[in-house]
Structure 1
């Protein structure tokens, strides 16, 4: 009989990953298979909610929005096509992706952005640990992208004030409902594409 090697069991790994979503306060998460060399094609499918999590880790609640109807099937997004994503995404290093993913906690309704755990080092540690857990699923060679712009200065102190802007993906219906801004991360491996998004409400 084969013995399991060191490391968490699949069930424990799944539970840890799901807890990371909760810790980060991620309002919308979706994962789908990567099936094309150009991963923007698969990212568009994920953001259009045309895929399912290949591992079955993602709870339906993370992709189910009551406002999604046949008139607005991709709510809270418009129908995002690969060419649109190509023009409005910025590639990230792994460490910057961790920093931005940890920032998700601040992108809560009616809130603004500030460094994760700025006044609470322990909370910062938890958020960064959650971000690393979330992104570890996509492996050491993953690629990352975001709709945040002007990140050439990195994520040093006050980067979010000095040069942080967003190319928002929220659709017309969502904007009409008060979702005035959105902020997300794409994580891409050889086999999977994940989208993790939050929204600010007017």
Structure 2
């Protein structure tokens, strides 16, 4: 009898993913200076959708939890996108902004999400990582499962080339914020755009 291949819940819409599971996954970032938000994708060019998320102008299409460490902070009164550098609307400026993004394969996303939740965005230096790894990877897989097969993923480092391993120390980035050191995931599906970004404000 031919055996059926094992189901990989991260490769398509998960029937198990709901608001509670998503919220628990977001909680993984509770000790990090991290921004987590999902907005609607409104067109072929998703860059304007990224700008709307950065400016806090759109809500999660599913009404699910996000994370915004700047809520209530005075910086938002002066700059609604703080701490992000919003992509320019002109073609040349937008192209330059995009040049700091690098496509990564789906199989690298889970480790990136885990790395973004570590204390120093540095897995080798994360205290008790061996004990926490399984739980963190479970939460990362839940986040990834929101974005079905065919989604595209970007980050702001070229670490590892076409097959990066984010459990290695990552030493370069192209900041998308006003800080000199940040890392994140930009996920784009047919219907949604997500920013999951962590910052070092030191």
| TM, length-normalised to structure 1 | 0.77
Q: Quick check: 1:32–1:53 contact (8 Å CA) kept in 2? A: yes
Question: Could you list the per-position Cα deviations for residues 76-95 of structure 1 after superposition, in whole angstroms to 9, with x for gaps in the alignment?
Answer: 11233343441110001111
- Equivalent pairs counted in the alignment come to 182
2:39 matches 1:32: yes
The one of 82, 94, 107 aligned to 2:106: 94
Match of 1:66 among 69, 73, 76: 73
* In 2, Cα distance between equivalents of 1:96 and 1:50: 30
Is the Cα–Cα contact under 8 Å of residues 48 and 80 in structure 1 kept in the other structure?
A: no
1:15 aligned partner? 20
- More divergent stretch after superposition (60-69 vs 142-151): 60-69
Residue aligning to 2:62:
55
Q: Which residue of 2 aligns with 1:130?
A: 139
**C-alpha displacement at 1:50, in angstroms?**
2.2
Give the equivalent residue in structure 2 for 1:42. Answer: 49
CA offset digits 1:126-150 (Å, max 9, x no partner): 1111111012112222110011223
**5+ residue gaps, structure 2:** 1-13, 89-93
Cα contact 1:29–1:62 (8 A) shared by 2: no
TM-score (norm 2): 0.77
Distance 2:87 2:122 in 1: 25
